[in-house]
Amino acid sequence: MSSNGPRITAVDEAAGRLGLHPGMALADARAIHPALRVEHADEDGDAEALESLALWCQCFSPLTRPDSPDGVMLDITGCAHLFGGETGLIAALAARFVRFGLTARLAIAPTIGAAWGLSRYGARRDRGNAKGAQIADGPLHEVLAHLPVAALRLDERTVAALTRLGLKSVGDLLGKPRAPLAARFGRELAERLDQALGRAGESFEALALPPAWRVERRFAEPLITLEAIETALGQLACDLARLLERDGKGARRLVLGFYRVDGWVTHREVRTSAPSRQPRHLARLLAERLDAIEGDAGFGFEAMTLGAFDVENAQAHQEKLSPDADGQGDAPQIAPLIDRLVNRFGADRVTRYEPFASHLPERSARPVSVLKHAAAHASPAPDWPAHLDALADGASFGRPLLLLARPEPVTALFEVPDGPPVRFEWRRVSHRITRAEGPERIAPEWWRVAEGAGRLTRDYYRVEDEAGRRFWLYREGLFERANDCLDAMPAWFIHGVFS
Amino acid sequence: MQHDLTHEAESRSAQARRLRAAHLSGLVRPLALVRPEQGALPVGHVAGHVAVSLGAGELDASLPDRGLALGALHECVPAGHGDFAAALGFSLALAARVVSKCAADARPGGVLWVFPTHCGFEQGRLHAPGLMAFGLDPARFIEVGVQKTRAMLWVMEEGLSTGALAAVIGVETGRDYDFTASRRLAMRAERSGVTALLIRACKQADGSGGASTAATTRWRIATEPHAHQLGAAGPRIGQGHENPGVGAPRWAVSLIKSKRGMPGHRQVVEWDHETLSFRMAAALAGRTPVSQNRRGTGEQAGSRKWAAAS
């Protein structure tokens, strides 16, 4: 909404024929045509739709991006031959857009600027069945010469100023000396002109990084059933595995893309713990992510792509000579199992233990995601015996089997201040202690005191109760300190359970 | 298609052959037991079942293969609410024996540990340095935290299917574990040779663990106190080197189900962390049960011993 009331942001073809155009005040338009049907502009919705359209266009080229407010840009370098040349590509694209109910104006040109200008301002020519599609054939300055200056992606003020000076088409600018133009209209004009003509480079920021290796399959009939999708998935996995095999690579991340006939796209991603290129394994991992795909299929998927990311070198290994057994011959690998677990439960739920150089029990060992662990496979395996030596002086039963998530306070009865308790109550159960070992003193880590970590010394005792249950208790704080500074009396906690 | 069919038929006939062979060797087994030298073997290769000796002769004797069968499902049931740690310790001790056997056979030695996350909050989480006492290398452990028993069973099945592990240890707390689920685990374990150990939540007061399952063995585990050397007067501890200490883990173990053998009676075993094997606690300790009215004497004996040592 501007100061003079609502304005038109977009018109359809019929309204355009009636002489309405974007930028017009709505009141004026209503005055001309009282029966006008008006919808509110939804800029966020448009941007979202444009982005999803750009994503869908990835089934034509991996490098696409939305070109707001009303365009989609595709880098089709090396892609056109898959569709029978540029004419075929543009025809296929146009046919899809017609089916989606979109009024699209398509253009192919050697530069981003030229394609932008051609698609928006190019004269409409029929090429095959692609209505209004433009392909820049011939030298760029000839193609662009008859376009209006607005086709150079200039702001409105520059366009208006140029028009006022009588410089109406790009051709008018081409012969002019550059210095006065740049002085009068700023560097932008010269830069846009150079970019359109290919004299200056322009980077293309794609929506998503292209995968290192990518395979795709298109289907004459859209796929709707899960069986068909799984079959296609198996073929894609085989294709990708062949590519990876050829180059001696293995993928750590795979993205499976589904392109629906009505221009909607969805992805499924899996990660692997080790670089993999076994088609059966990859397909199985991906197949587990297909649970809701049938509900999303709608009228079916017309294309599927499989991209390999995070590709690493993977050594070739001897496949079995006879393909009868299901990989039973050689030693089975743990990586497929880990991948399946990770893809079902998430990477942080499947962990390995890693020692950490701290005497505090809760910090001495920590779970590390298997993926992180596998990523650091170059580092040597953790030396647990040495770690235990450092921790508990090599005592075999020095550490409990179960460590509580956080130490729980217990009420303890003790004979002498520095001795173990005689009796303690934990979770409303009273335990009479018959045996005890200790204390093992663990001092706080003074360098972490600022972090609010435990500030008090702990004296750990291993105790056994009448029933033979063993616990790991500790007293937090020291008695002499408590007397000195009238601090709280030392409290007892249980930190672990022995088997 | 043709090829697939023939392939399937082949695999089916191979399976039938295997089954027949298993059946035949099952018939041979009783004969083999008659042979005198068979009993002397610590590790039995009987009826296709590989078993690992538990180290304690009496414990082995109660099992049909003279050891814990590999590639089978074994259940450990805590006798009471506070015996979870004991059941876990016992199953880890079993796992340690299995892993050492697998290492000797040059088979993979990894262990998959599956636990419900709520169990981790209640009972505590497995502490990697504590595993070392069982001779288990924490680096070989993969830990999976799951929400539900059904997910736990899925993980166990996956682990048992790969054959790239030595053992899979799970904790079952829900109601979804039934005969069918146990049969699935047992069949996968048998096919891959990976041993499945399942700690069952205590549902029944008698610790039987509820409905029947397809487990090869089921053990009931309770903690067992060491001898009451300190008497009723309370501990005399922290007084220097005479401190008897807590010592090795000790459990009262009952074999309450054995698929191909007889259930055993209650045995008190200890875990020896130096030989990484079980030992019979009573035999080594040589103690006589201290009855209620003789406790005074026990205490005196204890204090005499203290005096002598100090």
Nearest to A402 among B127, B141, B159 (CB): B127
Determine whether A103 is exposed, middle or buried from the number of CB atoms within 10 Å of its CB (0-12, 13-18, 19+): exposed
Mean pLDDT of A257-284: 87
CA distance A131 to A90: 10
Whether the complex's predicted ipTM is more than 0.85 is answered with no
pLDDT one-digit tens code per residue, A383-417? 888 888 888 776 667 889 999 988 999 999 888 87
Asked if A379 has any chain B CB less than 8 Å from its own CB, the reply is: no
> Residue B203's pLDDT is what?
61
Nearest CA to A148 out of A174, A163, A116, A170 is that of A170
CA distance B180 to B309: 58
3-state secondary structure A414-461: ECCCCCCEEEEEECCEEEEEEEEEEEEEECCCHHHHHHCCCCCCEEEE
> Residue A129's pLDDT is what?
44
Asked if A400 has any chain B CB less than 8 Å from its own CB, the reply is: yes
Confidence bin at A126 (pLDDT 50/70/90): very low
Q: pLDDT averaged over chain A?
A: 83
pLDDT one-digit tens code per residue, B44-84? 333 455 889 988 888 888 888 888 999 999 999 998 888 99
Q: Rg for chain A (alpha carbons), in Å? A: 35
Q: Are A26 and A41 in contact (CB under 8 A)?
A: no
In total, the C-beta contacts within 8 angstroms joining chain A to chain B are 209
* Domain annotation for chain B: domains and CATH numbers: 48-228+247-309 (3.40.50.300)
The H or E element containing residue A71 is strand A71-75
* Domain annotation for chain A: domains and CATH numbers: 43-197 (no CATH), 220-342 (3.30.1490.100), 351-392 (no CATH), 402-498 (no CATH)
Contact (CB<8Å) A384/B139: yes
Confidence bin at A19 (pLDDT 50/70/90): confident
Mean pLDDT of B283-291: 49
Does residue A486 surpass a pLDDT of 70?
no
Contact (CB<8Å) A467/B82: yes
Mean pLDDT of B275-296: 60
> Residue A153's pLDDT is what?
87
**What are the start-end ranges of the E strands in A206-344?**
213-223, 249-260, 265-276, 301-313
Kindly state the DSSP code that residue A130 receives in the 8-state scheme. B
Q: Encoding tokens for residue A382?
A: 């953790």
Q: Encoding tokens for residue B23?
A: 């059946």
- Alpha-helical regions (H) of A146-288: 156-164, 170-174, 178-185, 187-197, 226-247, 279-287
- Higher pLDDT, residue B76 or A314: B76
Asked if A397 has any chain B CB less than 8 Å from its own CB, the reply is: yes
The number of residues making up chain B comes to 310
Nearest to B129 among A328, A392, A463 (CB): A392
Nearest CA to A472 out of B92, B116, B79, B246 is that of B246
Q: Distance from B93 to chain A by nearest Cα, in Å?
A: 10
Q: Encoding tokens for residue B16?
A: 């039938």
Mean pLDDT of A351-361: 87
Does residue A322 surpass a pLDDT of 50?
no
Q: Encoding tokens for residue A68?
A: 């707001």
Q: pLDDT averaged over chain B?
A: 75
Q: Distance from A205 to chain B by nearest Cα, in Å?
A: 40
Asked if A394 has any chain B CB less than 8 Å from its own CB, the reply is: no
Determine whether B262 is exposed, middle or buried from the number of CB atoms within 10 Å of its CB (0-12, 13-18, 19+): exposed
CA distance B245 to A398: 11
- Higher pLDDT, residue A20 or A209: A20
Q: Encoding tokens for residue A495?
A: 């930190």
Contact (CB<8Å) B146/A349: yes
Nearest to A405 among B120, B142, B249 (CB): B120
Q: Are B137 and A382 in contact (CB under 8 A)?
A: no
Judged by average pLDDT, the poorest of A99-103, A193-197, A250-254, B191-195 is A99-103
CA distance A463 to A465: 7
Confidence bin at A324 (pLDDT 50/70/90): very low
Q: Are B216 and B198 in contact (CB under 8 A)?
A: no
Q: Are B231 and B305 in contact (CB under 8 A)?
A: no
Query: Which residues are paired to A259 by β-bridges?
Result: A265, A303
Share of residues in chain A with pLDDT > 70 (%) = 88
Pairing between strand B111-116 and B73-78?
unpaired
* Range 279-318 of A in CB contact (< 8 A) with B: none
**What are the start-end ranges of the E strands in chain B?**
45-46, 49-52, 68-69, 73-78, 111-116, 125-126, 141-146, 167-172, 195-200, 217-223, 250-258, 266-272, 277-280
Following CA atoms A280, A283, A285, A288 in sequence, which dihedral angle do they give, to the nearest 10 degrees? -130
Q: Indicate the residue type of A120.
A: R
Mean pLDDT of B161-165: 88
Judged by average pLDDT, the poorest of A310-319, A391-400, B200-209, B230-239 is B230-239
Q: Is the pTM of this model over 0.80?
A: no
> Residue B310's pLDDT is what?
33
Contact (CB<8Å) B226/A364: no
Asked if A336 has any chain B CB less than 8 Å from its own CB, the reply is: yes
Does residue A374 surpass a pLDDT of 80?
no
pLDDT one-digit tens code per residue, B4-34? 545 555 666 666 677 666 665 655 555 444 4
